[in-house]
Amino acid sequence: MAQSLTILGLESSCDDTGAAVVRGMPRDAQVLSSVVEGQTGLHAAFGGVVPEIAARAHAERMDIVVRQALDEAGLTLSAIDAVAVTAGPGLIGGVMSGVMCAKGIAAGAGLPLIGVNHLAGHALTPRLTDGAAFPYLMLLVSGGHCQFLLVRGTEDFTRLGGTIDDAPGEAFDKTARLLALPQPGGPSVEAEAGKGDAARLRFPRPLLDREGCDMSFSGLKTALLRTLDDLMDNGQLRQQDRADLCAGFQQAVIDVLVEKTRRALAVYLAEGPAAPVLAVAGGVAANRAIRAGLETVSAEMGVAFLAPPLALCTDNGAMIAYAGLERFASGARDDMTLAARPRWPLDQAAAGMLGGGRKGPKA
Ligand code: KG4
Ligand code: ZN
């Protein structure tokens, strides 16, 4: 009988300071507490995450967030078996803040230290929330990431494809900025799209004509700018035009994600998984129209669709604690030489093709 583990997890790779306590064993763990402190207000005036501001805020707040997570779990450090921390990829100053804090806690309390890949945290979340069995297909879609991962084991990931430029969340945020809608752009563009006609203004579907699962979203912004120019009347944009722009843009993102998901599912299904599952993670998974598209394509292909609760889809400490739990249970240990890494692809074989983005390296 495997032993139950209690893991403290720290996350600070972008603009959320997270700490959480997770208890249990692989595929059977509970979140005892999860505290996330966002930094949206700190970056609002700059139109994007400012790495130095993010790093300082993580350094100032991480110990407080950790204390709160322990308090909410009703535990002290003496009940913790190991400290897990995001060691990359991400904005390096923030990752360093978390790693240093985790090292301090581990050294002070005499606890083992586990470095976790942030993307593995997202990718293993369906095992925390639904006890998903390997292998499953993960679509990670957020403001910083967009990739298909075939998840075969705790440390066994194959990247089937991903964005070659912007992540979809980034495209939603840029669209919102161009249309003077509030940030983060995803929810405001989705709300506008609900009032618009998706068929009126046609946007490109980049890379659909090309084989494979790679995607591109940066061209959508240019197309949007051009259409916006045509629609502007004396510097004014009619309400209906704005809604139609949002609806057309969102439909283009949906069509690309759905078609590329169909292809990734075909690759995954060719391996003959016994109980096939498509899981999503990342803030963009909150979009109801995108979710509906993914659900439909999954159903068509006889694959179960899993969407973890939103609080565990976006950046949080619980996914890091859980990924740490899986690593710890399989015997992995790190020590005080653990380094913060700005880039850290999950799939080394696919590492060559990746670019950078507004929220840091794509990994
Ligand atoms: O996973 P997340 O919280 O943070 C990282 O990017 O790491 O994702 C945030 C992103 C933002 O770009 C936001 O605009 C997008 O997710 N997002 C959405 C929606 N809600 C959040 N995109 C489309 N539709 C939504 N409803
Ligand atoms: Zn993330």
Instruction: Give the number of the atom of ligand 1 that is nearest the alpha carbon of residue 170.
Output: 12
Closest ligand to C-alpha of residue 116 is 2
CA of 360 to the centre of ligand 2 (A): 11
Instruction: Give the number of the atom of ligand 1 that is nearest the alpha carbon of residue 183.
Output: 14
Closest ligand to C-alpha of residue 167 is 1
**In 268-304, which positions are buried (b, 16+ CB within 10 angstroms) versus exposed (e)?**
beeeebeebbbbbbbbbbbbebbbebbeebbeeeebe
Report which DSSP code applies to 349.
Answer: G
Q: How far apart are CA 49 and CA 256, in angstroms?
A: 26
pLDDT in the model for residue 161:
96
Instruction: Give the number of the atom of ligand 1 that is nearest the alpha carbon of residue 286.
Output: 26
Q: Give yes or no for a contact between 322 and 33, defined as CB atoms under 8 angstroms apart.
A: no
For residue 112, whether the previous peptide bond is cis, meaning omega lies within 30 degrees of 0, is no
pLDDT in the model for residue 363:
53
Closest ligand to C-alpha of residue 11 is 2
pLDDT in the model for residue 44:
80
CA of 267 to the centre of ligand 1 (A): 27
Positions of the chain with pLDDT lower than 50, given as ranges: 353
CA of 140 to the centre of ligand 2 (A): 8
Instruction: Give the number of the atom of ligand 1 that is nearest the alpha carbon of residue 14.
Output: 7
Instruction: Name residues contacting ligand 1 (CB within 6 A).
Output: 14, 142-144, 169-170, 172-173, 184-187, 190, 282-284, 286-287, 314-315, 359
pLDDT in the model for residue 351:
59
Measured in residues, the chain has a length of 363
CA of 122 to the centre of ligand 2 (A): 7
Instruction: Report the 10 Å Cβ neighbour count for 46.
Output: 9
Q: How far apart are CA 175 and CA 150, in angstroms?
A: 30
Write the burial class of residue 32 (CB in 10 Å: 0-12 exposed, 13-18 middle, 19+ buried): buried
Closest ligand to C-alpha of residue 319 is 2
* H runs (alpha helix) in 270-316: 288-300, 310-313
Instruction: Give the number of the atom of ligand 1 that is nearest the alpha carbon of residue 313.
Output: 1
Q: Which tens digit of pLDDT belongs to each residue from 34-71?
A: 999 998 889 888 877 889 999 999 999 999 999 999 99
- Protein residue with its CA nearest to atom 8 in ligand 1: 283
CA of 184 to the centre of ligand 1 (A): 7
Q: How far apart are CA 288 and CA 343, in angstroms?
A: 31
Q: How far apart are CA 147 and CA 160, in angstroms?
A: 8
Instruction: Give the number of the atom of ligand 1 that is nearest the alpha carbon of residue 144.
Output: 6
Q: Which tens digit of pLDDT belongs to each residue from 249-286?
A: 999 999 999 999 999 999 999 999 999 999 999 999 99
- Protein residue with its CA nearest to atom 19 in ligand 1: 186
